[in-house]
Amino acid sequence: MRQRLSVETYTKGVLAGDRSTLSRAITVMESSLPEDRKLAGAILQNILPYTGNSVRIGITGVPGVGKSTFIEAFGSYLTSLGKRVAVLAVDPSSKQSGGSILGDKTRMEKLARDPDAYIRPSATNLSLGGVARHTREAILLCEAARYDIVLVETVGVGQSETLVKGMTDFFLLLMLSGAGDELQGIKKGIMEMVDAVAVNKADNGNEPAVTNAVAEYRQALHLFPETASKVPVQVVACSALENTGMELIWNLISDYFAQTTKSGFLEQNRQFQRIEWLREQIRQSLEDRFYENEWVQKHIASADEAVRNGEKLPEDAAGELIEMFLRSGNAFNG
Amino acid sequence: MRQRLSVETYTKGVLAGDRSTLSRAITVMESSLPEDRKLAGAILQNILPYTGNSVRIGITGVPGVGKSTFIEAFGSYLTSLGKRVAVLAVDPSSKQSGGSILGDKTRMEKLARDPDAYIRPSATNLSLGGVARHTREAILLCEAARYDIVLVETVGVGQSETLVKGMTDFFLLLMLSGAGDELQGIKKGIMEMVDAVAVNKADNGNEPAVTNAVAEYRQALHLFPETASKVPVQVVACSALENTGMELIWNLISDYFAQTTKSGFLEQNRQFQRIEWLREQIRQSLEDRFYENEWVQKHIASADEAVRNGEKLPEDAAGELIEMFLRSGNAFNG
């Protein structure tokens, strides 16, 4: 393992916007080793007052929709406006495929060389809960490093959309024309999460189909209930390949940000997200403490055995183990 | 609330196969009141030796595929063979729609009147975790009441398929012809869960389309990795409306059961499911104990407040609350 720096070095480097220190700090966040978690907590505590100042944008869409090309085009447009842009990826599937680490950067060549952009590929070998925690922490670090816009890309596998929705201010769905939403493998419920739909690949003679798709999605969205933000969901066309629609998309995000700042929804939503994060953290820490407990470790095998054989009900076995765990609390942790 | 019976009355009634007592016992399982949970535990403890003897079949498919008609036809076919059939429904969405209680029975008129069939509509107002627990418990009760086959129907919303897959021996996916799997809103990953696909509505001139669809699904399934059971996934045509294909489907399930009994997979899988149930139960009970704890209840509001305002990190707040909870363990529970 690469050597860790001091809390002060991480803090100063991140606050100075140093990309190399930022990367090393995010690596600390990705670790679940107890000493790294302690270090992570100390760094986060220091930078916490400097967080919360970015526009957090979640971006999703099925494979093939052109997410990387879009982020390259959109990110470059934003840096051309003088914005500093960070790109994070949430890809719980990379555990299996393992191919995303290099993938992200090579697919965003131009943005990767842009001094005002920071691209952090997906961490591998993390549970969904692990991905959730460290991505939230990475957002805070990027904000402390004065990135104005944080783009969180998700591959849309399993529950990753819900996860990204829960840590961003604005959720953008990329779609293709020439296919119903179901045909694109879009999971039920995702349309209810989005703040905008961008129909990509309005290029190479595909423009009329995209125009039709935009009209269809607009129509379809009328059937959905009003969003919590009360800002109507926008549907626009774009071409990541030809760099069109980027200004339009940024304008609608800016408008959304202005409206929800004024209405108070933006801050309400962030407060809600922090509480949700706390609840998840409690759930995770309770389980960690339980399974690390000496008494539990000593007795869980026989409990498992009785349940496995159908001799004991899971609820009874769980109850006994938890009683044991709680009684041992003072002895081991007090 | 309707008055509860004694543990003995529930036990005897269920073991005697009395449908009214079975229903009342399942109602006890659906309750989360502490006294009902205690009663539920006592009943389950009594009936546990009489469980495990059914064929547990999960059935899923998008709305419109004809699930109710299929279950009516398939269930009636099974009772005609002298089998006793129980039908349970997992519908986490019924919380919102609220319409499933009457729905299930009226949509299965014939089966509902069959003395060898028992239909239990979805419980309403339950969390996904609550649905999971009580459905597993209801399966055990149905087995103790000597039902040979338990059909667990799921509407396929959210995670309900994974849940039903985790409590059944055999998972059947109902499909329609004339549409790619994506077009039917089938969630990614579901094809990897199924043991058989039945293409329904092979009737009214639709037969050629169904034959094509069967061939296509067979082709597509070649691309999937071998199932854990090592039994190849079967694809068949059926018409719930015209009662065709029922024998075929039952035969392939019987074959599956015979093969996996012989290979040991059936029992291995059930053991695995019991351990998963235990893990879920531990997670749920830990959270319940935490949030019910007096110290936690006294201090969580201020912790929430500090997290909500962004003054404190969720991980730190969670850590402090859990420390408090564990230290208070002996005083309150010891």
Give per-residue burial for A10-37: e unless 16+ CB within 10 Å, then b. bbebbbeebbebbbbbbbbbbbeeeebb
Which of A187, A282, A307 minimises the CB distance to B318? A282
Task: Write down the mean pLDDT value for chain B.
Answer: 88
A252 and A210 assigned to the same domain = yes
DSSP code string of A204-227: TT-HHHHHHHHHHHHHHHTTSPPP
A25 and A70 assigned to the same domain = no
Predicted local confidence at residue B11, as pLDDT: 98
Predicted local confidence at residue A325, as pLDDT: 93
- The count of domains in chain A is 3
Judge: A48–B281 Cβ closer than 8 Å, yes or no: no
Predicted local confidence at residue B26, as pLDDT: 96
A129 and A2 assigned to the same domain = no
Q: Is A330 on the interface with B (CB under 8 A)?
A: yes
A122 and A166 assigned to the same domain = yes
Residue B171 maps to a domain: yes
**Is the distance from CB of A5 to CB of A23 less than 8 angstroms?**
no
A97 and A243 assigned to the same domain = yes
Residue B5 maps to a domain: yes
A78 and A215 assigned to the same domain = yes
CATH of the domain at B21: 1.20.5.170
In chain A, positions 49-78, which contact chain B (CB-CB < 8 Å)?
A: 51-52
In chain A, positions 190-249, which contact chain B (CB-CB < 8 Å)?
A: none
Query: How far is B77 from B111, CA to CA, in rounded Å?
Result: 10
Chain A CB contacts of B304 below 8 Å: 275, 278
A215 and A137 assigned to the same domain = yes
Query: How far is A262 from A2, CA to CA, in rounded Å?
Result: 45
pLDDT band at B16 (very low <50, low <70, confident <90, very high): very high
Sort A271 into a burial class: Cβ within 10 Å, 0-12 / 13-18 / 19+: middle
In chain B, positions 130-169, which contact chain A (CB-CB < 8 Å)?
A: 133, 157-158
Residue B182 maps to a domain: yes
In chain A, positions 277-296, which contact chain B (CB-CB < 8 Å)?
A: 277-278, 280-287, 289-290
CATH of the domain at A95: 3.40.50.300
> A176 or B275: which carries more pLDDT confidence?
B275
Which of B274, B285, B321 minimises the CB distance to A282? B321
B253 and B284 assigned to the same domain = no
Q: What is the pLDDT of residues B198-242, one digit of tens each?
A: 999 999 999 999 999 899 888 888 777 888 999 999 999 999 999
Best probe of the B interface among A315, A322, A327, A328, by most B CBs < 10 A, is A315
What is the 3-state secondary structure of B220-287?
HHCCCCCCCCCCCCEEEECECCCCECHHHHHHHHHHHHHHHHHHCHHHHHHHHHHHHHHHHHHHHHHH
Best probe of the B interface among A65, A285, A290, A321, by most B CBs < 10 A, is A285
Q: Is the pLDDT of residue B94 over 60?
A: no
So what's the ipTM on this one?
0.85
- DSSP secondary-structure letter at A239? B
Query: How far is A110 from B273, CA to CA, in rounded Å?
Result: 49
First to last CA, chain B: 32
What is the C-alpha radius of gyration for chain B, rounded to an integer number of angstroms?
Answer: 22
Predicted local confidence at residue B177, as pLDDT: 84
Judge: A285–B319 Cβ closer than 8 Å, yes or no: yes
> A130 or B75: which carries more pLDDT confidence?
B75
**Is the distance from CB of B281 to CB of A22 less than 8 angstroms?**
no
Q: What is the pLDDT of residues B51-65, one digit of tens each?
A: 999 999 999 987 788
Judge: B275–A307 Cβ closer than 8 Å, yes or no: yes
B25 and B106 assigned to the same domain = no
B188 and B58 assigned to the same domain = yes
Which of B198, B200, B199, B254 lies closest to B231, judged by CA?
B254
Strands in B85-90's sheet, in edge-to-edge order, are B117-120, B85-90, B149-154, B55-60, B170-175, B196-199, B234-237
Predicted local confidence at residue A99, as pLDDT: 38
pTM for the model: 0.80
Residue A34 maps to a domain: yes
A32 and A82 assigned to the same domain = no
B281 and B227 assigned to the same domain = no
Residue A334 maps to a domain: no
* Domain hosting residue A19, numbered range: 1-50
Predicted local confidence at residue A157, as pLDDT: 60
Amino acid (1-letter code) at residue B165: K
pLDDT along chain A (334 residues), means of 10: 87 97 95 91 96 96 86 97 95 48 64 95 72 92 98 79 93 82 56 91 92 88 85 95 96 97 97 96 93 94 96 94 83 44
Q: What is the pLDDT of residues A255-289, one digit of tens each?
A: 999 999 999 999 999 999 999 999 999 999 999 99
Query: How far is B72 from B29, CA to CA, in rounded Å?
Result: 25
Residue A93 maps to a domain: yes
Other C-beta atoms lying within 10 Å of the C-beta of residue B110: 12
> B99 or A149: which carries more pLDDT confidence?
A149
